[in-house]
């Protein structure tokens, strides 16, 4: 997972605090697609776009719902084509709304988010120059609203993400963030994301998901990860990804009994996923089982699950893959096979994804991993 991928993706979920006719209807759709009922969400939003055409949320949420639905059912090239067509549909709508309501910043914010989603299309197609151009166009719209209307708390999410990942990145990225008058700092970025998680009207969902991601795999803070992931599985119990986050949070806090029960739920929920989502999440599920077996000191079972996770990795982001490679290397270090362990650490580092796993792998190449005694 690279900085640009993660930040541009989450720009698309920059939602607003103002109340408009139809907000309650849009919320029904949001709850539906976060619980994987994307078909119902699309039906709701198709009607809502007709009934509430001036609602700033409805058009982008419609595009996002159709995107998520297509990700679960269609080949990737079909998904990108459909998303691009939908963005081409909604950008003129937002341009018209901005022109008609120039004093309402919400329409401009959604215009910026829609443009940012266009960048996500080009990112998926690996057209880097177009990704940069459209990402810049979308972000400048959002930044302008954030500077003029700081009371719109939901703008803190995309700004915080950019600041956080810029703080982790190389000099060129930090310099670029400074040109936007942003603070390329993980501390400042996390503070903004936390503000969105605690006070955002719409953005709290993605903000909490972002914080869990960060505190599991980038800057580990297991207690914080457990707090926010518990909120997410409570509100959206059918969303498989949130169950994955919650399961790992339990395991990383040493709550193995609860973690085992959550793993059983992952197994049960897996059967109801689409074939495409099964290809995506098989590796995640097997990695969580591997982590559980490792924590219990059952290294053969852990290695068996890790082999499946690594050899069948189909997710777009490679964060869990990096953790699987690291964990496998640690086990081989424990078993005394230093050569294999170092190879796995090098494979983890080559992902170059700014994660804590990569940092650990660099350390364990120098000094072999030694696990404290398992009671």
Query: Both 115 and 167 in a single domain?
Result: yes
Q: Which domain holds residue 308?
A: 222-366
CATH number at residue 182: 1.25.40
Q: Summarize the confidence of residues 327-335 as an average pLDDT.
A: 98
What pLDDT, on the 0 to 100 scale, is given for residue 15? 45
Residue with tokens 């109340």, as numbered in its chain: 19
Task: Give Cα separations from 245 to 3, 93, 137, 287, 288 (angstroms).
Answer: 20, 36, 32, 12, 10
Range scoring the smallest mean pLDDT among 76-80, 98-102, 213-217, 363-367: 76-80
**Whether the predicted pLDDT of 150 surpasses 80:** yes
What pLDDT, on the 0 to 100 scale, is given for residue 226? 98
Range scoring the smallest mean pLDDT among 166-180, 237-251, 324-338: 166-180
Q: Report the C-alpha gap between 123 and 135 in whole angstroms.
A: 10
Can you read off the two tokens belonging to residue 302? 């852990």
Q: Report the C-alpha gap between 339 and 134 in whole angstroms.
A: 45
Query: Both 199 and 249 in a single domain?
Result: no
36 confidence band (pLDDT: 50, 70, 90): confident
What pLDDT, on the 0 to 100 scale, is given for residue 4? 38
CATH number at residue 362: 1.25.40.10
**Whether the predicted pLDDT of 191 surpasses 70:** yes
Q: Report the C-alpha gap between 147 and 124 in whole angstroms.
A: 30
Helices 256-270, 275-295: inter-axial angle, 10-degree rounding = 160
176 confidence band (pLDDT: 50, 70, 90): low
For the stretch 272-281, pLDDT in tens is 999 999 999 9
The residue out of 209, 240, 263 marking a domain boundary is: 209
Query: Both 231 and 330 in a single domain?
Result: yes
The answer to whether position 375 is within a domain reads no
**Whether the predicted pLDDT of 263 surpasses 70:** yes
Query: Both 198 and 251 in a single domain?
Result: no
Q: Summarize the confidence of residues 202-219 as an average pLDDT.
A: 92
Query: Both 46 and 163 in a single domain?
Result: yes
Query: Both 336 and 226 in a single domain?
Result: yes
For the chain, the domain total comes to 2
**Whether the predicted pLDDT of 227 surpasses 90:** yes
Query: Both 33 and 141 in a single domain?
Result: yes
CB 137 within 8 A of CB 10: no
What pLDDT, on the 0 to 100 scale, is given for residue 6? 38
CB 44 within 8 A of CB 52: no
The answer to whether position 289 is within a domain reads yes
For residues 174, 177, 179, 180, the Cα torsion angle rounded to the nearest 10 degrees is -170
The residue out of 165, 187, 209 marking a domain boundary is: 209
The answer to whether position 179 is within a domain reads yes
Can you read off the two tokens belonging to residue 287? 């990695």
Q: How would DSSP label each residue in 213-278?
A: HHHHHTS--HHHHHHHHHHHHHH-TT-HHHHHHHHHHHHHTT-HHHHHHHHHHHHHHHTTS-HHHH
**Whether the predicted pLDDT of 2 surpasses 60:** no
* DSSP 8-state symbol, 154: G
Query: Both 183 and 267 in a single domain?
Result: no
Q: Summarize the confidence of residues 75-98 as an average pLDDT.
A: 92
Query: Both 122 and 234 in a single domain?
Result: no
> What share of the chain has pLDDT > 70, as a percent?
88
The answer to whether position 216 is within a domain reads no
**Whether the predicted pLDDT of 32 surpasses 80:** yes
The answer to whether position 17 is within a domain reads yes
Q: Report the C-alpha gap between 64 and 53 in whole angstroms.
A: 17
**Whether the predicted pLDDT of 128 surpasses 80:** no
The answer to whether position 73 is within a domain reads yes
Q: Summarize the confidence of residues 228-252 as an average pLDDT.
A: 97
The residue out of 184, 209, 234 marking a domain boundary is: 209
Q: Summarize the confidence of residues 124-141 as an average pLDDT.
A: 74
> What share of the chain has pLDDT > 90, as a percent?
62
Query: Both 205 and 249 in a single domain?
Result: no
The answer to whether position 132 is within a domain reads yes
What pLDDT, on the 0 to 100 scale, is given for residue 137? 83
Query: Both 163 and 263 in a single domain?
Result: no
CB 20 within 8 A of CB 55: yes
CB 293 within 8 A of CB 263: no
203 confidence band (pLDDT: 50, 70, 90): confident
Residue with tokens 């699950």, as numbered in its chain: 305
The answer to whether position 204 is within a domain reads yes
Q: Report the C-alpha gap between 270 and 280 in whole angstroms.
A: 11
What pLDDT, on the 0 to 100 scale, is given for residue 165? 75
For the stretch 7-23, pLDDT in tens is 434 444 444 445 799 99
Q: Summarize the confidence of residues 317-323 as an average pLDDT.
A: 93
Q: Summarize the confidence of residues 94-116 as an average pLDDT.
A: 92
Query: Both 197 and 226 in a single domain?
Result: no
185 confidence band (pLDDT: 50, 70, 90): confident
pTM of the complete model: 0.83
């Amino acid at each position: 997972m690279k900085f640009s991928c993660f930040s541009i993706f989450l720009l698309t979920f920059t939602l607003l605090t103002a109340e408009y006719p139809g907000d309650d209807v849009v919320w029904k759709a949001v709850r539906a697609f976060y619980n994987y009922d994307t078909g119902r969400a699309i039906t709701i939003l198709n009607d809502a776009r007709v009934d509430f055409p001036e609602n700033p949320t409805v058009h982008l949420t419609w595009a996002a719902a159709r995107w998520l639905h297509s990700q679960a059912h269609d080949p990737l090239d079909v998904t990108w084509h459909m998303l691009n067509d939908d963005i081409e549909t909604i950008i003129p709508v937002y341009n018209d709304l901005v022109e008609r309501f120039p004093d309402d910043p919400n329409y401009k914010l959604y215009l910026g988010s829609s443009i940012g989603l266009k960048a996500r299309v080009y990112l998926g197609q690996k057209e880097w120059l177009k990704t940069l151009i459209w990402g810049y166009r979308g972000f400048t719209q959002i930044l302008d609203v954030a500077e003029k209307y700081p009371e719109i708390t939901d703008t803190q999410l995309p700004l915080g993400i950019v600041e956080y990942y810029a703080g982790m990145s190389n000099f060129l990225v930090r310099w670029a963030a400074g040109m936007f008058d942003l603070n390329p700092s993980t501390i400042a970025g996390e503070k903004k994301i936390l503000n969105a998680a605690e006070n955002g009207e719409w953005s709290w969902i993605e903000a909490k998901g972002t914080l869990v991601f960060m505190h599991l795999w980038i800057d580990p803070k297991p207690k914080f990860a457990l707090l926010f992931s518990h909120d997410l599985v409570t509100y959206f119990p059918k969303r498989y990804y949130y169950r994955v986050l919650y399961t790992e949070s339990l395991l990383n806090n040493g709550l193995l009994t609860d973690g085992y029960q959550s793993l059983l739920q992952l197994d049960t929920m897996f059967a109801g996923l689409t074939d495409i989502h099964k290809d995506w999440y098989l590796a995640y599920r097997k990695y969580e089982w591997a982590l559980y077996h490792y924590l219990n000191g059952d290294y053969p079972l852990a290695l068996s699950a890790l082999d499946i996770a690594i050899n069948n990795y189909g997710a777009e982001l490679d964060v869990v893959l990096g953790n699987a490679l690291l964990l496998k290397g640690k086990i081989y270090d424990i078993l005394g096979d230093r050569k294999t362990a170092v190879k796995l650490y090098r494979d983890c580092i080559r992902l170059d994804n700014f994660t804590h796993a990569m940092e650990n792998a660099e350390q364990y190449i120098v000094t072999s991993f030694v696990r404290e005694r398992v009671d």
